């Protein structure tokens, strides 16, 4: 039963002003709550493989060899480390140093080892106060 025959139906409109207001409030909220993180970069010069023949008799006592396997297992001077937390690695490095002042830490990592496992060794050396860290390279024959 339509009693209003002569009146035209009013077309519904979408009022955009409240929608724009809500979107503007959401945008302001996102801008205010966003945290901007600053990334720091390390400038690393990768080592070159070369053979140098020197007398390592006095240097081998100051060297600590750290090996990182593909599975992330650590060995320090051929002694496996059971727990691979940074604190345990730091303690193992300090006990391997035998009260030497600043030993040279040589990191030998498997090619399939994760970057984090190598960074963990570097962080443990930093916490132990050792700043001489180097990496071994493997020389390939290109014939």
Residues in the chain: 143
How many CA atoms are closer than 13 Å to the CA of 73, on its beta-carbon side?
Answer: 8
* pLDDT tier, 83 (very low <50, low <70, confident <90, very high otherwise): confident
Tens digit of each residue's pLDDT (9 = 90 or more) over 22-57: 999 999 999 888 877 766 666 666 666 565 555 544
Separation between Cα atoms, residue 20 and residue 41, nearest integer Å: 41
* Structural domains of the chain ordered from first start: 60-135 (3.30.420.270)
- Cα–Cα–Cα angle for 68, 69, 70, rounded to 5 degrees: 125
pTM of the model: 0.56
């Amino acid at each position: 039963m339509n009693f209003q025959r002569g009146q035209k139906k009013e077309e519904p409109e979408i009022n955009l002003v409240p929608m724009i207001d809500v979107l503007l409030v959401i945008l302001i909220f996102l801008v205010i709550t966003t945290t901007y993180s600053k990334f720091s970069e390390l400038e690393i010069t990768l080592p070159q493989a070369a053979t140098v023949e020197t007398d390592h008799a006095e240097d081998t006592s100051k060297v600590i060899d750290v090996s990182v396997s593909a599975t992330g297992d650590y060995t320090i001077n051929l002694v496996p480390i059971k727990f691979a937390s940074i604190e345990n690695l730091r303690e193992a490095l300090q006990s391997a140093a035998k009260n030497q002042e600043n030993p040279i830490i040589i990191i030998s990592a498997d090619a399939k080892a994760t970057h984090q496992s190598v960074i963990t060794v570097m962080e443990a050396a930093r916490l132990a106060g050792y700043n001489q860290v180097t990496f071994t390279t493997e020389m390939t024959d290109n014939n």
